[in-house]
Structure 1
Amino acid sequence: MEEKYIPNKVPLYDRIKNIVLSVAMAIFGTMGLIENDLAVSVCRRCEEIYHFSGISAVIMYIALMIMCVSFVSEVIDHYDKRNNEHVYHRISNWTLLPSLGLFILAFYVQFSNT
């Protein structure tokens, strides 16, 4: 006997949080890239802000956009009622690690020349 499929549900708070974070990161990253000064704070309590310009700003921007894809995939998963949660989990996993790698690469590119 086949089990009945129950679609994945993502709480409303998490959906709103992911959309707001994605939109904010996209706007913030685009503005920083246009101005050629992408400012990033590594933690909430850190007062130090790192400024990226040139190629390191582009790398950081790509990292932010990939992270946006990860956040949005979780929201799309909630509304997709088909039995394919594994696809969205794969998207999330495949995007977060490269995003982190690009984040570190941007720091290396920016601060290796100084």
Structure 2
Amino acid sequence: MFKKTTPDKDYVPNKISLGARLANLALAVLLILLGSYGILNEELYLPLGRRAEVTLYGVATYVAMLAFSLGAFYFLLEIVDHYDKRNNEHIYRRLRMIFRGFACMVFVSAIIVNLKYVYQT
């Protein structure tokens, strides 16, 4: 599924625009700041859509910070891929999928931990 598709002799490194790199950096920093804010206050309000929202309390904020850190690594990998000129985009694609999947699973775990915390008291 994620195999080298271009021989090394024909390979042209991918280029990511400066705007896309800056947007990825801003999103990574925003995720870390949001998670830090939640840890400092031990409460984190997250609107998930038009009619969905969740407020995380206590230990769930630490789990959410882990998910946000994985998400930040996801965005930073694209920046690193831009500066890496070797023929290994397949590795970066695989890593991005892994980080995205783990971040989603950990975030769902944060919501489950939060439900246990809310209904326990």
Which bin holds the TM-score, normalised by the shorter protein?
A: 0.7 to 0.9
2:20 matched residue in structure 1: 14
SS of 1:76's equivalent in the other structure is helix
Q: Deviations over 1:41-100 (max 9, x none)?
A: 112x34x54221222111111000001001100111011111111221121011000110
Pairwise CA distance, 1:4: 2.6
Unaligned runs of 5+ in 1: none
Unaligned runs of 5+ in 2: 1-6
| C-alpha distance in structure 1 between counterparts of 2:47 and 2:22, whole Å | 23
| C-alpha distance in structure 2 between counterparts of 1:96 and 1:51, whole Å | 22
2:3 matched residue in structure 1: none
SS of 1:6's equivalent in the other structure is coil
Q: Report whether the alignment pairs 1:103 with 2:99.
A: no
Identity of aligned residues (%): 29
Task: Give the root-mean-square deviation of aligned CA atoms.
Answer: 1.9
Return the match for 1:90 from 72, 94, 99: 94
1:65 matched residue in structure 2: 69
Count of residues in correspondence between the two structures: 112
1:54 matched residue in structure 2: 58
Q: TM-score normalised to the size of structure 2?
A: 0.82
2:83 matched residue in structure 1: 79
Q: Structure 1 runs of 4+ off > 4 angstroms?
A: none
SS of 2:10's equivalent in the other structure is coil
Q: TM-score normalised to the size of structure 1?
A: 0.87
Q: Deviations over 1:9-38 (max 9, x none)?
A: 122222111110100111111121121112
The correspondence of residues 19-30 of structure 1 with structure 2, limited to 5 A, is 19-30=25-36
